[in-house]
Structure 1
Amino acid sequence: MKVLVVGNGGREHALAWKIKQSPLLSKLYVAKGNAGIWQIAEKVDISPTDVERLVEFARKEKIDLTVVGPEQPLSEGIVDAFEDAGLRIFGHRKNAAILEASKVFAKNFMKKYGIPTAFYETFDNENEAVDFIKKMGTPIVIKADGLAAGKGVVIAYTEEEAIKTVKDMFGGKFGEASKRIVIEEFLEGEEASYIAMVKGEELVPMATSQDHKRVFDGDKGPNTGGMGAYSPAPVITPEIEKEILEKIMYPTLKGMKSEGREMCGFLYAGLMIGPKGINVLEFNVRMGDPETQPIMRRLESDLLQHMVDILEDKINQVEPVWSDKWSIGVVMASKGYPGKYEKGFEITGVEEAEKDPDIVVFHAGTDIKDGKLVTAGGRVLTVTAVGDTLVEAKEKVYRAVQKIHFEGAHYRKDIGDKGIKRLYK
């Protein structure tokens, strides 16, 4: 099979790395990818959002399956365009991708179908939003309605910060994405990511994981696209998983289908598990980044075969096989991320780190300039390790991280600690 992976980040490198292992694969392409993916796939110099040219390429090269990594092309209708052209593609149509593309849609959908989520109101007017904040008090959560690369959510701990955030958003901080906003109650607890492969009203769970959204240790600082993750997540016990499936995942698939928005692809529920039970913080219509990286390290069965089976309505036959090992991924980011950052710094030490067979380094914001590996984004690399215990995996991953260097590199040093505390309390 000829396969095209669409996307540029660490998630796409991990998906490509896994697909590359399939005996079904004859040729792997990536649009547009990064320096890591180009080592295992042929580069297609087309932007992930240039749907027309991607359709042309897939037709010309007779691509058997296209796999979409990021949310932007899904929300812009890449799946609809490929299907209209008679091309096979794994991902959600535009009318289903709205579950991630609009926070307002998602919150109203959850309210309509009784899916547990935080109390909220939606606003397109600054004064009304400020009045609501004064009535609700802080801490409070403010979200841009549209896609903002994981940075459109602010937890404001003071009224002053909350009002400034509202003014910034309506002032165009995220462009069209923050013309409408959602303001919701702040929920206490521990976050976890629950991801499944879905089609219609059926699903196949992926391994559980826990992302670390904030930029600094101890969950401090602004939200990012994600600074690290590990799998499995001990906070999701078998009892909690049963509840997630019964109260969140299946009702979501059923509700979306009943509205003519049938889902096919990855469905991700970002959850808060705490004193108020299990609540959905957000839905994503694709794999998470950086959760994909440690999850793919644990998947022993054939991802490509699973996707083909799902598209051929054989989802009931799909049984992923997971390693018993723990896996962990630590994001190495550019100085200044998630704010402004410079690009073009040389990266060294990746080959040295990967001499340990338990280490795989997934590239995100990387490029090749004058024959050298250089930084080209905010999140540069996700260093992953596997181990027999979470403690062992954590020790291995940070040993590897210390071998890799680029100017201004920063990373969290506490990835996995929540799981370790839970396991050894």
Structure 2
Amino acid sequence: MKVLVIGPGGREHAIVRGLLADPYVHEVHAAPGNAGIAALVPTHQLNANDPEEVTALARKLDVDLVVVGPEAPLVAGVSDRLREAGFPVFGPSREAAALEGSKAFAKQVMAGAGVPTAMAKVASNIGEAAEALDTFGAPYVVKDDGLAAGKGVVVTNDREEALAHAQSCFEAGGEVVIEEFLDGPEVSLFVLSDGRTVVPLAPAQDFKRIHDEDEGPNTGGMGAYSPLSWAPEGLVDEVISRVAQPTIDEMAHRGTPFVGVLYCGLALTSRGLRVIEFNARFGDPETQAVLARLRTPLGGLLMAAAKGQLASVETLRWTPETAVAVVLAAANYPDTPRTNDRIRGIKKANALDGVHVLHAGTALDEEGKLVSAGGRVLAVVGLGEDLVEARERAYDGMALIQLEGGQYRQDIAAKAAWGKVELPQQNASRQAASRSAASSTAEETR
């Protein structure tokens, strides 16, 4: 099959790499891509958020499948226009993508589906925000209701900082969702959906803060690893039965079937499993780690989802290795990232055993030299027999790459590698109460 991948980042580079490993995929194109993607497949410059431009390119290339990577084209209706034109598409419709495009909508869906999540209030002015903050108390969790590229969330003990973030969202014309704080480690699980059937990928964990020990502001993600040796037994089955399948069923019931990948951002709290957020696409940088281990042909999986045929997919195959992805970010990220800085050493990193580099914010300058072109510049992925070896390989690769002002975390997957991930204690009665109260914890108050 011939596949067109829409998007410019590291997630799309990982998807392109996975598609090229599929023996049934004979040709891959990307739009707009980046310098790393362009070294692998033909790229096409366009406005990825313009449904007509994307559809025209799909027609010109006569592709068999379109994979929409980022959230913005989904919310802009790119998938809808492609489907109207007769193309199989991996990516939800505009209405279904509202699961990510509006956190308030996602809360409504979770309430309807009985999905366990944090209690929340939606605020449209500073008075409502202040009241909600006082209801839940510190730590304060304030989320921009709309798309924010993973950086629209503030978690703080400082009430004034929380109010300031809410005010900035109001001034931009939006609303905020204010939630109770969820304790416990976080887990990301991608679930493929064809609108009815769901197929889970391997769980991962990512690291949102810019600095080690989870210090500093939130980012789009500074690293990830998969699988999770410390995850409770039966976690994936629980997520499917309590979160993913009920959500997909609810979306179908609403007349907006969800076709694509449902990103379940989860917290394993002292009260049991809770959903932090949904995304309507592959998460970045978890995708870089998860797809590095997938051995089932990716193109066939995505096509099965696009055509409503996931029920016929065989059990997924995975390499027994562990994957760690470490992100290199530009100077001044996540505030105002500096661009056009030279990047060196990628060939050396790629030459290491068990290491590959995935580009995100990269481009070629007028002299054909590789330069930074975004906040998160690239990710170094290490594969190893265990988490310790995978980390060593990823960081060995990162040590060979030079970017002036570049910054990366030194502690990606460190706690897990040394067995220091702590799960909150739950007694049996509390766990049972948590399960029976799923619908009440999925409330959304306005």
When normalised by structure 1's length, the TM-score is 0.96
Match of 1:220 in 2: 215
Runs of 5+ unmatched residues, structure 2: 423-446
**Residues 125-174 of structure 1: per-residue CA shift (max 9 Å, x gap):** 111211322343211100011001000111021222222222222222xx
Matched, 1:139 2:139: yes
AA paired with 1:132? A
* Distance in 1 separating the partners of 2:202 and 2:39: 27
* Distance in 2 separating the partners of 1:290 and 1:129: 31
Q: What secondary structure is seen at the aligned counterpart in 2 of 1:95?
A: helix
Superposed counterparts of 1:230-309, under 5 Å: 230-309=225-304
Worse-matched range after superposition: 235-244 or 219-228: 235-244
Q: Which has the higher contact order (CA 8 A, sep 6+)?
A: 2
Match of 1:121 in 2: 121
Q: What CA RMSD, in Å, does the superposition of the two structures yield over aligned residues?
A: 1.4
Match of 1:367 in 2: 363
Match of 2:158 in 1: 158
Matched, 1:171 2:171: yes
Q: What secondary structure is seen at the aligned counterpart in 2 of 1:218?
A: helix
* Distance in 1 separating the partners of 2:117 and 2:421: 30
AA paired with 1:400? G
* Distance in 2 separating the partners of 1:18 and 1:242: 25
* Distance in 2 separating the partners of 1:118 and 1:424: 22
Match of 2:318 in 1: 322
Task: Tell me how far 1:221 sits from its aligned partner.
Answer: 1.1
Match of 1:66 in 2: 66
Aligned partner of 1:204 among 199, 207, 213: 199
**Residues 216-273 of structure 1: per-residue CA shift (max 9 Å, x gap):** 1111111111000000023433322222111111111111111111111111100011
* Distance in 1 separating the partners of 2:25 and 2:111: 43
Matched, 1:192 2:182: no
Superposed counterparts of 1:360-399, under 5 Å: 360-369=356-365, 370-399=367-396
Task: Tell me how far 1:282 sits from its aligned partner.
Answer: 0.3
Fraction of identical pairs, as percent = 41
Q: What secondary structure is seen at the aligned counterpart in 2 of 1:11?
A: helix
Which ranges of 4 or more aligned residues in structure 1 deviate by more than 4 Å? Answer: none
Task: Tell me how far 1:423 sits from its aligned partner.
Answer: 7.2
When normalised by structure 2's length, the TM-score is 0.92
AA paired with 2:177? V
Q: 1:353 touches 1:404 (CA, 8 Å); kept in 2? A: yes
* Distance in 2 separating the partners of 1:114 and 1:316: 24
Q: 1:192 touches 1:235 (CA, 8 Å); kept in 2? A: no
Q: 1:13 touches 1:364 (CA, 8 Å); kept in 2? A: yes
AA paired with 1:385? G
Runs of 5+ unmatched residues, structure 1: none
* Distance in 2 separating the partners of 1:167 and 1:307: 40
- Aligned CA distance change for structure 1 residues 423 and 128 (closer, same or farther; 3 Å): closer
AA paired with 1:229? A
AA paired with 2:417? I
AA paired with 1:272? A
Number of aligned residues? 420
* Distance in 1 separating the partners of 2:91 and 2:163: 37
Matched, 1:343 2:332: no
Q: What secondary structure is seen at the aligned counterpart in 2 of 1:83?
A: helix
